[in-house]
Each structure stands twice: as C-alpha cells, then as structure tokens.
Amino acid sequence: MDNKTTSLPVRTFRFGSRGRYGAAFCGILMFAASACAKTGESDSPNRDPMASIAATATEVVAGQPMGFGKIVLTFVDGEGPVIYPDQTIRVVDAEQRVFYPVVTYQYDKDEGAYQASSIEANFALKGDGPLSIQLVHDQDVLFEESLSSVKVSAQRVQKLRDQWWRALQDDVARFGQVGRAELQAILDTMAFRFGIPEHRRIEVQAKTMDSKSLEDQFERAVKMLLGFESVQLAIHKSTETGGTASNLRRDDASNADMPLPKRRTVRSLRIPDFPATAVEAISHRTPAECFYVRTGSVNNYRHLRRLLVGWGGSLDDVVATSVIEQSTRQKIERQLGLPGDPDELTPIEPHLSDLALIGSDPFFDDGAAVGLLMQAKSTGPLKAILQQWRDHAESQTAGCNRQQVNIAGHAVDFLGTSDHLVRSFLAEDDGFLLITNSKTLVQRFFETGRGIDALGKRKEFQYAKWKTRGSGQGYAFLYLGDPFFQNLISPHYRIEMLRRERALNEIRQLKIAHLMAAGEGNSDLDDLGLIRERYLPETFGQRPDDARAFQLEEVYQDSLRGVPGTFLPIPDVPLDRATRMEVATYQRFASEYLRLWRRADPVAVVFRDEGIDPGSQHLRTSLQIVITPYAEDRYRLLRKHLGPATSRALITSDPPLLYGQATVRMSERTNTSHHILFGIRDDRLDFQIDRGKVRLDDAGTSGLYASSRGFLAMRPGRLEVLKMLASVLLKGEEYVASKPASAPKKSGMMPPPNLLPGGNPSGASAIIYLGWALSKMRPSDPGMMKYASMVDLTNENCIVGESADTRQWTRKQLVETSNHETHQAFLTMNPLHGSKVEPYIQAYTFMQARHHSSQGAIWLDRMGSWFRVPEESAKQRVQTLLGGDLVCPLGGEYIHQTRDGDSAWTSTRWETDSAFDVTAADPQWRFPFLDWLQALRVEFDMSNNTLYATVHLEVADGDRDSAGIPRGVITTTDLPSSTSPNHGLVSKNLTTPLEQVATDWVLGVRAAEFDRGVVITHVYPNSPAQRAGLRNEDIVLGVDGNDITTSDQLREFIRQLPDRSWCLVRIQRGSAVHRYRVHLPKD
C-alpha cells in the first residue's frame, strides 16, 4: 500500500514573550536583531514569524508493532529561532497515539549562537486512524496539522524507523553523564522492540592524544607515585580486554560447562631482611587477603570518617575528588546494622582495646565484602551494646529476621533481609568480635584464630610496619598487601564481576520493559508476556548462574544477589563453573593486567593528626603513603630520571596558586640536574557567563584559566629534558633521542597537524603536553605557530606557557631559593578561598552544577514524553530506574510547572529556564569543597626499594557528615523509597536470607513468601534442589507430608529433618502438583 506523504502548511507558528524566549538572550530578540541587521528597519511586535519558514514536510506511515513519522521545519538562513540544547519541544497528539518522540535541531554555521536552521521531529505511532499533531514549545504552538488517515507501507516505515533511531541516539547525548548505563539499556530495549538489526552503543570512544587524554595520563602518573594505580587496575570493571558488552549478552544463555580457569598470579616481591618487628594483635585476626584500616579507637574512626566524607567517601578520593556522591558510608553502616550517627558509637569506646575496618574488596557501589573487627577489653558489655544496635536495626527494617547460624563450629548471630539491604553477621572468638556482611569473612576470621593465613603473620606486613615506624603516632593505618591484589584478580572475582554486570543489565532491562509496556497500555504483562510482545529478548533470565531479575513490591533485584548496591558479597557467591566466554575474558584480563603490572606493590598509608592551626583554627592532617617494596621494573624510569633531593629549588617571588617542584636528570650517570617549577599563578580575571559557558575576556588565549595562567620553568633549560619527561610520563617508555638537527627557527619548528593534540592543555599537564609536541618537531615541519610561541628558551632558563603575559610574569618572578626540607619532588596548593581567582572558580562550578541540574529535568521530561508517566509519578520513576535519589545540585527542588496550558520541568533554584540564558552565578552559590580544603602539599621521595609520598592537608573541620559535597544530579541511595510504584507481586513477609535457615545449604534454594504461597526465587546450580528438578517460581506446598504455608514453617521443617539421605518436597508448578525426592548432603 502507498504511504501517506504530505507537505503541510504551518497553521500556527508564533514566538512567545515569556519563558525561554523572554530571557536575556531570548529567541525573539535575536530573531529581531537578525531581521534588523538585514533590512535596516525596526522590527514590529506583530511581525509574522511565518516569514522565517522556508519549507515544511511531514511523513507518517503505519506499521507493526508501530508505525513511524517525521516532521521537518526548515527556516530561512539566519532567521530561525534560538533553541538551546537543554530546551524541549514537545510533540502533542489529541489521539494519544504518538510514542517515543525525539526532536532534534540543526544550527546555522555559528553553532555558538544556537540559532536553528531546521527542526526535525521523529516519533513512533500506533494504528492508522486520524491524527492531529502539534509541535509545542513553552506556550507556543510552532506547528499543527490534522491527517484524516495514515496509510501503510513496509518499505517506508522501515526508512522512517531508521531515521527515528538515528535521532534517538543523538538525543541521548543531551543527558550528559547522568544514567549512561540506563540510557544504554533504553536503546538496547527499543532496538529489540522495533527490530533494529545493528545499532550504535553509547560507549566511550577510544581516546586520542588530545588534552583530555594528556590530563588522564598526568593523573595516572601521579596515582602511580601515590601507589593507587595498581589498585585501580585490579578493581577495573570494564571488559576492554575482549569481553565486549554484545559478546556478554550473547553469552548470557550459554552453559557454564567449563571449570574455572587457573588463577594467574602476580609475582610477589622479595622482602629484604629487616629487624624483628612486633605487630598489633588485631592484625593476627585479619585475613591476609583483606584491606586493613586500623583506627584503634572510636574517636580515631570518627576522625577518619570525617576526612573521607569531606573528600567524597572513597579512599581513592583522598587524592582525586570524585564527581558523584555515592553515599557509600551510609549504605555500608546500614547493611551491617551499625548506627548512622558517629556519636552513637561512643558507648563502645570504654570496652574496646583495638578497632579495624577490614574487607576483601572495595566494590562499595555494587556491594562489597566488608567488616568491623574489634578487640574487646570486656567482651560482655561490648557485645551487649552491639546486640542493642542489632535489635534496633531489626525493629526498623521491614522483613528483617534474626537467626543463630553455625559457621565453622561457632554460633554466629545473623541479621538480614532476603534482598541484602541488611546483611550482618556477628561473630565472637577469643576476645575478638567481627561484624561483617560476608559469611566467607566469618569463616576466615575463625581460621585466623587457628593461625591460618593471618595478615599479622605475613612478612610483608611486618616489613611495612617496620618501614613506617618513624611516621609518628597516627590515628589510622591502611594496608593493601599482596594477597589483597591476588584475590581481586582471581578467576572467582573477575567472573563474578562479569556476572554482576549481566545481573545489573537485566534489572535495567526489566525496569525499562515495564515502563514501555505500561506507557503503551500493556501494564498487565508478566515476564512471558513481555518476551512475547518483544519488550524483552527470548534469552531474558537465561544466565549461566540461573539467576534472574524480578520485582518484589517496588524493589527490583536479582534472585541470587539481591538489590543493586547491596549485592551478595562476591566471596559468598557460589561459583565453580564458567562459560567459554567467561573463561576467555578472564584470560584476556589476566594477560593485560600482568602486562601492565607484573608485580604487586604493597601499599601502606599512615593517617596523622598534626593539630589545629592556631590562627585559622583549621585542622591539619597528613597521609604518609609508603609503597614497600616497590616493583623495580615499574618504577625504574622514575628512579632513573628523578634527581636527588636537594634544598635548592626554583620559586616565584609571588607564590603561585598551585605549583610543583622537582629535580630531574637525563640519566643516573649524568651529574647535571635540572630544577623544574610548574604551576598556575593566582590572578584576578575578567570573565563573563555567556551561552552556558564561563568565558575569559583575555584575547589570544584558549579561554581556559588553567591554560592561560599555567607555566613551566626549568633551569638550566634544555628541550631534550621536556622530551624525556613526555616519554616517561605519557608512555612509561624510555626516551630515545632523535637524530640531531640543525638549530631551527621558531617559524619552522612546528609538527605537522596530525601529530599535535587537539584542544588546549590544562596547566597541570603543560609539561608533558609541550614535551610531547616538541618531541615531534622537525625543522621542516610547517604550521602550528602558536605552539612554537609557547616556549622561551635561553641558555639559562626554559619557560613554557600559553600566554605571553604568564611567560613574562614567570621570567620576572623566577628566583632560586633554598627549601627548609629536602624532597625529590613536591606539589603545593595554596588556599583557594580568598584567592584572586575564587570568583572565577565559583562561577565555573556553578555553571557545571546548573548544567547537571538541567540533565535531571531532561530525565523527568522523558518519563512523560517517552513512557507517558504522569508528572506526579515522574520523579519516583526516574529514581527507581536510576537506583538513586534525583536531587538538584543547586539545592533546589524539581517541580512541574504549568503556564498558559503548557507545562515543563524546572527547579526552584533556576532563574532562567535554560542554562544557556544564565548571565551570572547565583550569589548564594558556594562550592563546598572550596571552603573545606584550605591547603595541600604532597612530597615524593624514593629510596632503593621504597617510595614515600606524604600528603599534608589543611581542612575546615566542620560537620560534613550530613551536608556532603554536591557533585552531580544523582546521589545513590541505600534503600528503595516506600512510595515507589508497584509493578509486581505483593509480598506479605520476606523470608530471612536462607544462609541462616539451612534451605540454602541443605536444599540449595532461596524462597520468599507471596500471596500465592512460599515461592522458590532461586535454585543454586549443582545443588540438591536443582539435581532433583526444582525450578524458580515453583510454589512449595509441603515437605515430608507436612503442609507448608509460611516461610517460618519451611524453615522449621528443613531444620528438623531427620538424619537421613533424602526428603520429599511437594510443589505446584502452574496448575500441576509434583513431588520430588531431594537427596540431602551428608554433612
């Protein structure tokens, strides 16, 4: 049949005088200015805007499961409306048959002006009846038309579908970094629903040698010096080494018929001889594979807690602040049944002899294996307080149950929910108590009591304690040893991390399938119905571990692992077989890790309190990071080129805002040392906020503060040293000098365009950026004159900087001085609060927060336009999908406003509807981190086998536990909201997690109590239940002739099974009743 293709006249096209078009840079004024410039006449308020439309076109074709349509408005060159990227044009149809609309804009040549040359609306469509459709922006109907009917054409509908798909992929870029995984799942689900054969995924593209990648390399070099790079590599979650996301999806339904691959181990470092060193008793009760953070007391624990909360809550954030607040601390404390208020910990202080935080992994976002280890002065009173905490947690958590379980011959108190939001073991042994979420950690705790593989017994740990003996009395001690790294790269950990990602993807799929089905009027579909109607693929729920995603009340979870964020700890997940893809992916990861890091470097960190500054009353604290012994092959180049410590140094008379000093050399054989000073000078800036960006008024610069005020000075100056540093820091490779060339002039010393990075470097990466560029220069290379002008080279000094003013300032200010302390390298940051550049920083961070706030509003808008969620439910649906609270980073509240019949999402802290209309920062805005961190100094030194890095901090010691630092739109939460919409079965009572009720270890199943009875939610692979034939969704009716109607009855009957080899389980499957003989394990 022929398709309906119609060129439509525009019935209504008007620009309003309010909202986005009424702001400082409103579209109507720019439209008027454009018209005046062309005609030389004054614009009339009643000027017909239809004159700006050059052409219109529409095409709507019906199809199955849906048809597709497109509307295109093309404007006269230079006369289109101003539409910013964070603005929304809605597609409205009276018949409610339009779905998943996407409106995109094409801009004129000057994209910075955001003047549209065309608007294109693509959408899906149900049915082939009459259609009345409008394009609406604010109060303005830009376009409207009515069609009496829509015809069908399979060929045309496929073409329109492909155009809609391309527009949808472009549209998701407007969401920024908020919910990228969920956006990917939306695209995957829609692609399957509408039969898209191949689609481009939202993945980070391979990095090129641009300024961003240079900054990443610079950061990596710093992390290596601080000992964090090996940790980052070990915990890396991506499947870059070959297990691509598409391959993993195809592998979902594969059989786990392969044994786990052999563990690939990193070679341990040889520990040199050292004097016998006594270590604390609590380290002898810590499993060797655990991270170890000893605070000794509750007061020290609170002190460390405040420091980590100020940085953002993770150990890595001590040296690199994160962007998204993860609420890690609250999540773990609640899961363990610990008080959320640090003051509530005070009662245990008199009964403690020692205290440590331990854990076998740092995967706090998904669910880590962690614990609180205590050495008691008086066990009885201490345990009584812990029991009070647990009683309170039990009473405050719905579905939380208590059970005494036997682990390794010891009675252990277990408190938990079936979804692991609460999961807490309390174990006691010989004056030590452990609260943990991991059964495996409990088993290992008891093993250390028998002297089996305890951290305190290991020679490397004793050596680290001896090497840090001169660090003074610290309030916390962190240690990451060789077994910790070996455990993180083991097959069990790496394969379960792949399966976790599959579980998370399946949960996202199910959430989105429910949203799409409900929006299309199919909310009553179960999982089979969702598969039948192509909302879910046929392989949904078919995973190697037989786990599946499901919804219980308002909570989406995995049948094996529980709720995302509090997943079952990896050591507790049963795993003894793998798929071929999983085995191959592990082998690739292990090979890559061993290539990058052939040996594991133990890392020790001593946290010290350096008192209160008497003038400012700021808290001074320090972290001494000790990598001992370090891998010589990894640090060989740094040791070769980092010069000896000396008191001689370069500095500027007016101290920079941020600066570093180092002494470097071309080789260990040379006697010539080069003193380097690099930094960013403090300066009062003229800037303006224009079209969503903070722009410097400086002429001839990149417009970035760090670039225009960043500098490098070297004495004596030598280009070869810059080239060497670039090779070492960027590539980790030895520098090989190029063939000498005749001395070139600046005009001829430029690299070809394809060799130079794009963009501009930050001040922090100037040294490696310029070194990299200079290493490519040849006398005959043309172009790129600006890079030659960045270097002023004399016999005495080499000065590098983008700005001529900054280079002149450096040249005049540069002096040689003597430091009181001698270090091979150090980095210093002076207070930002009160600095000349502070207004610029406040404006910059405000605009970042404003753009993030807009991204939250876009999510809320798409809940309505894509999934037809009512505005009163939109916020909760976004939070359910993203697994966190949607918060405005400006401190406001998202609200849905209706004006003159049109509606839009906004925030109570927005002064303008668009971030691109903002012309000044909110005067009430304060970037909290700026007030918290007052000063920073980092010192580096290397000996024959030890790397020392000391971080000195001066911070405002306010109470930051509740305020936190706003860094993004989504703040991950711990518990699902009680107001979440219910899409699934209603649970009367969740059973206790079945480790403690014996069904897990005797039958090998998990179950939950629903209205229809006690339902099996998970059957463990190779368990007695699976071998007998029990399946997920089976309803347990009885055991050995005893009727089962509640989870408590099931628990009791399993516990009281007589000592024999089998039991008879009666189940209902569909409408049929079956009986299975389950052979029980001997022990």
Question: Is a pLDDT exceeding 70 seen at residue 200?
Answer: no
pLDDT tens-digit series, residues 452-476: 999 999 999 999 999 888 656 688 9
The arithmetic mean of pLDDT across residues 947-953, rounded, is 86
Omega before residue 1021 within 30° of 0, cis:
no
N-terminal to C-terminal alpha carbon distance within the chain: 71
> In whole angstroms, how far apart are CA 800 and each of 654, 699, 724, 811, 910?
18, 18, 16, 10, 41
Helices 211-226 and 766-775, axial angle in degrees (round to 10): 120
704 burial via Cβ count (<10 Å: 0-12, 13-18, 19+):
buried
Question: Is a pLDDT exceeding 80 seen at residue 930?
Answer: no
CA dihedral sign, ordered 684, 690, 693, 699: negative
Q: Give me the amino acid identity at 988.
A: K
Token pair of 162, please?
């492909």
The arithmetic mean of pLDDT across residues 170-178, rounded, is 76
Of 502, 495, 497, residue with least CA distance to 580: 495
| pLDDT confidence bin for 984, thresholds 50/70/90 | very low
| H or E element in which residue 432 lies | strand 432-436
Q: d(Cα 354, Cα 346) in Å, to the nearest integer?
A: 14
Q: What confidence score (pLDDT) does residue 1060 get? A: 62
* C-beta of residue 691 within 8 angstroms of C-beta of residue 112: yes
Tokens 């953070």 sit on residue = 293
Least confident of 61-70, 308-317, 412-421, 846-855: 308-317
Q: What is the dihedral of CA 953, 954, 959, 965, to 10 degrees?
A: -60
Q: How many CB atoms lie within 10 A of CB 299?
A: 15
Question: Is a pLDDT exceeding 50 seen at residue 971?
Answer: no
Q: What confidence score (pLDDT) does residue 944 get? A: 75
Least confident of 72-76, 78-82, 374-378, 964-968: 964-968
Residues in the chain: 1083
Q: What is the dihedral of CA 260, 261, 262, 263, to 10 degrees?
A: -90
Token pair of 647, please?
């008191």
> Which CATH superfamily is 987-1079 part of?
PDZ domain (2.30.42.10)
Of 1024, 829, 816, 856, residue with least CA distance to 934: 829
Of 660, 687, 967, residue with least CA distance to 837: 687
Q: What is the dihedral of CA 655, 660, 661, 667, to 10 degrees?
A: -160
Question: Is a pLDDT exceeding 50 seen at residue 580?
Answer: yes
Of 522, 521, 527, residue with least CA distance to 556: 527
Percent of the chain with pLDDT strictly greater than 90: 31
Token pair of 951, please?
């971080």
* C-beta of residue 729 within 8 angstroms of C-beta of residue 953: no
* C-beta of residue 228 within 8 angstroms of C-beta of residue 744: no
Q: What confidence score (pLDDT) does residue 328 get? A: 65
pTM higher than 0.95: no
The arithmetic mean of pLDDT across residues 863-876, rounded, is 93
Q: How many CB atoms lie within 10 A of CB 328?
A: 21
pLDDT tens-digit series, residues 616-668: 678 888 888 888 666 565 677 778 888 888 888 899 999 898 898 988 888 87
Percent of the chain with pLDDT strictly greater than 70: 75
Question: Is a pLDDT exceeding 50 seen at residue 765?
Answer: no
> In whole angstroms, how far apart are CA 1035 and each of 828, 1004, 1032?
65, 15, 9
The arithmetic mean of pLDDT across residues 46-59, rounded, is 67
Cα three-residue angle 540-542-545, rounded to 5 degrees: 135
Mean pLDDT score across all residues of the chain: 77
Q: d(Cα 4, Cα 824) in Å, to the nearest integer?
A: 75
Of 973, 985, 975, 1050, residue with least CA distance to 397: 975
Token pair of 496, please?
């379960």
Q: Give me the amino acid identity at 1013.
A: G
**Cα 6 from chain centroid?**
47
Token pair of 651, please?
């500095």
> In whole angstroms, how far apart are CA 370 and each of 423, 662, 748?
11, 39, 60
Tokens 């939001």 sit on residue = 421
Token pair of 411, please?
């009675």
Higher pLDDT, 202 or 182: 182
Higher pLDDT, 938 or 791: 938
Q: What is the dihedral of CA 1028, 1032, 1033, 1034, to 10 degrees?
A: 10
Cα three-residue angle 584-586-592, rounded to 5 degrees: 105
The arithmetic mean of pLDDT across residues 62-68, rounded, is 92
Q: What confidence score (pLDDT) does residue 291 get? A: 92
Q: d(Cα 551, Cα 14) in Å, to the nearest integer?
A: 46
Omega before residue 272 within 30° of 0, cis:
no
Q: d(Cα 207, Cα 123) in Å, to the nearest integer?
A: 33
The arithmetic mean of pLDDT across residues 16-37, rounded, is 29
Tokens 């492909």 sit on residue = 162
Token pair of 132, please?
């009345």
The arithmetic mean of pLDDT across residues 82-108, rounded, is 90
Strand partners for 828: 659, 937
Q: What is the DSSP string of 217-248?
A: HHHHHHHHHHT-HHHHHHT----TTS--HHHH
Q: What confidence score (pLDDT) does residue 470 get? A: 67
The arithmetic mean of pLDDT across residues 70-89, rounded, is 88
Question: Is a pLDDT exceeding 90 seen at residue 202?
Answer: no
Q: What confidence score (pLDDT) does residue 718 get? A: 81
Tokens 């050292």 sit on residue = 274
Q: d(Cα 1074, Cα 1030) in Å, to the nearest integer?
A: 10
Q: Give me the amino acid identity at 62.
A: A
Domain definitions of the chain by residue range = 4-175, 227-264+492-596, 293-452, 650-823, 838-928, 987-1079
Higher pLDDT, 684 or 11: 684
Q: What is the DSSP string of 970-998?
A: EEE-SS--TTPPP-SBPEEEPPPPTTTTS
Helices 491-519 and 180-193, axial angle in degrees (round to 10): 60
* C-beta of residue 66 within 8 angstroms of C-beta of residue 126: yes
Q: Give me the amino acid identity at 292.
A: Y
| pLDDT confidence bin for 55, thresholds 50/70/90 | confident
Token pair of 595, please?
């290539």
Question: Is a pLDDT exceeding 50 seen at residue 779?
Answer: no
* C-beta of residue 433 within 8 angstroms of C-beta of residue 371: no
Least confident of 337-351, 538-552, 947-961, 998-1012: 998-1012
Q: d(Cα 404, Cα 94) in Å, to the nearest integer?
A: 61
Q: d(Cα 122, Cα 334) in Å, to the nearest integer?
A: 46
> In whole angstroms, how far apart are CA 178 and each of 170, 927, 968?
15, 20, 8
pLDDT tens-digit series, residues 211-241: 334 334 444 444 444 444 444 445 555 434 3
Strand, coil or helix: 628: coil
Of 656-660, 668-672, 978-982, give the range with the top mean pLDDT: 656-660
Maximal C-alpha separation, the chain: 100
